[in-house]
Amino acid sequence: MTGTSRNVAVRSLAAASLVAFAALLGGCWTTKVYREPGASSEAPSKPRPGVTTTVRRGDTLFSIASRNGVRQQDLAAWNGIAAPYTIYPGQKLRLYPAGKGGSTAATRPSTTTTTTTKPAATTPAAPAPAPKPAAPAASDIRWRWPADGELIGRYVAGEPTKQGVDIAGASGAPVRAAADGVVVYSGSGLVGYGELIIIKHNEQWLSAYGHNRNRLVNEGQLVRSGQQIAEMGRSGAPREMLHFEVRYNGKPVDPLIYLPKR
């Protein structure tokens, strides 16, 4: 091949390559357009009535929109947020337009200031008055003093050793039944009472006579008011005396309420 022929061949090959490259550009080249985040030509987002989301630290409006499958423009419009789309951690955003399951535009969470008010000084309440003691039970029994002598001990409510009255006297002085009844106990088996007699007057009332020197009646014996039932002594006591109790339904009461005035 001569030099001239070679030059023609090279020029022909270059022209063919240029035509082929041009054809390739025309059929295969695609222009890619980069859009601003959130600026999409897609159809408007599908609202989710009643659903909200809370802004977390580091969130942007675009990241929230992407996370929830909506467009940034729609999310901003639904919540009344204008450019540059400033949002705050803790802020609640609607995923639906106002009027479709929620209130109006979202707002920045308000800061609540708590004011502590020192309570006003108050006057200490007066102590509650002590409860009044229960009224003594009424008795239709005609009580009489069980012995003559000086009253040396009185009844004290709640005091185990003062559940009746103590009447001083001489050894062997008569001890009498305070009312009609039946002897239900005659013995010395109760500690602290010495020689003791108990008389039952009815279903509610009893009387007891302690520290006797000698017991003159037995259990089951009927006695009359004023009848001698024992001799005064000091069994279980530091001196000669009668310890006398009156009991209502088993509980001691003050004998002086029921005995006649001296």
Q: How far apart are CA 188 and CA 109, in angstroms?
A: 87
pLDDT digits (tens, 9 = 90+) for 182-240: 999 999 988 889 999 999 999 999 999 999 999 999 999 999 999 999 999 999 999 99
- Supply 252's token pair: 């001691």
- In the chain, what are the domains? 36-109 (3.10.350.10), 151-257 (2.70.70.10)
67-78: average pLDDT: 90
Q: Which helix (H) or strand (E) holds 229?
A: strand 228-232
pTM: 0.52
92 closest CA partner among 84, 100, 104: 104
pLDDT digits (tens, 9 = 90+) for 237-254: 999 999 999 999 989 999
The residue with greater pLDDT, 90 or 50, is 50
145-157: average pLDDT: 96
Q: How far apart are CA 198 and CA 182, in angstroms?
A: 9
pLDDT classification of 87: cutoffs 50, 70, 90: confident
Q: Which helix (H) or strand (E) holds 28?
A: helix 3-28
Q: What pLDDT does 99 receive?
A: 73
Q: What pLDDT does 132 receive?
A: 63
Decide: residue 162, CB within 10 A, 0-12 exposed, 13-18 middle, 19+ buried: middle
Q: How far apart are CA 240 and CA 166, in angstroms?
A: 10
